[in-house]
């Protein structure tokens, strides 16, 4: 039987990766963003939001929305994508750190979900306003 010696010190995650600088940092950041998008596209809610974005652009085109109204819609949708990504990150962390059911974990997930819901309401209100004013005006 082998004797167990002292365990080799484990590297911290920060030590395992080489810090990029300059243009290499820009490319690394782009790669990390692409990886985040690939993870987020696995979420059904995000795929629904993408469909809503495409449908909204089509509806805005049909009703003759102004460029500023298009811009407002795009900005609100991008904010929703951002909050959806943060919500998914919260869920991933809670599931990793606290896989058991806990009040704190549930609250964190519920708060992330509420943030997404608020942006859904903001998008719906803005889109409804634009479509109704264009159809009635």
Q: Which of 88, 91, 90, 106 is nearest to 46 (CA)?
A: 88
Q: According to the model, what pLDDT value does residue 59 have?
A: 97
Predicted TM-score of the model (pTM)? 0.81
**3 SS3 class:** coil
Q: What is the rounded CA–CA span in Å between residue 96 and residue 124?
A: 33
Q: What is the rounded CA–CA span in Å between residue 7 and residue 5?
A: 6
Catalytic residue among 43, 69, 84, 92: 84
Q: Is 43 a catalytic residue?
A: no
Q: What is the pLDDT of residues 46-84, one digit of tens each?
A: 999 999 999 999 999 999 999 999 999 999 999 999 999
Other Cβ atoms closer than 10 A to 28: 15
Q: According to the model, what pLDDT value does residue 25 have?
A: 86
Q: Taking residues 94-119, report their average pLDDT.
A: 92
Percentage above 70 pLDDT, the chain: 88
pLDDT band at 19 (very low <50, low <70, confident <90, very high): confident
- CA gyration radius for the chain? 22
Cα separation values, 40 from 34, 45, 46, 84, Å: 10, 9, 7, 8
């Amino acid at each position: 039987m082998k004797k167990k010696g002292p365990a080799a010190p484990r590297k911290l995650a920060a030590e395992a990766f080489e810090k990029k600088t300059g243009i290499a940092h820009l490319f690394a950041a782009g790669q990390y963003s692409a990886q985040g998008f690939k993870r987020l596209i696995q979420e059904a809610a995000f795929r629904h939001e993408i469909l809503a974005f495409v449908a909204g652009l089509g509806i805005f085109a049909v009703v003759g929305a102004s460029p500023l109204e298009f811009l407002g819609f795009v900005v609100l949708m991008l904010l929703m994508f951002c909050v959806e990504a943060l919500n998914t990150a919260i869920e991933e962390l809670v599931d990793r750190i606290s896989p058991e059911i806990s009040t704190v974990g549930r609250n964190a997930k519920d708060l992330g979900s509420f943030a997404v819901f608020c942006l859904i309401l903001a998008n719906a209100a803005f889109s409804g306003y634009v479509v109704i004013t264009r159809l009635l005006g």
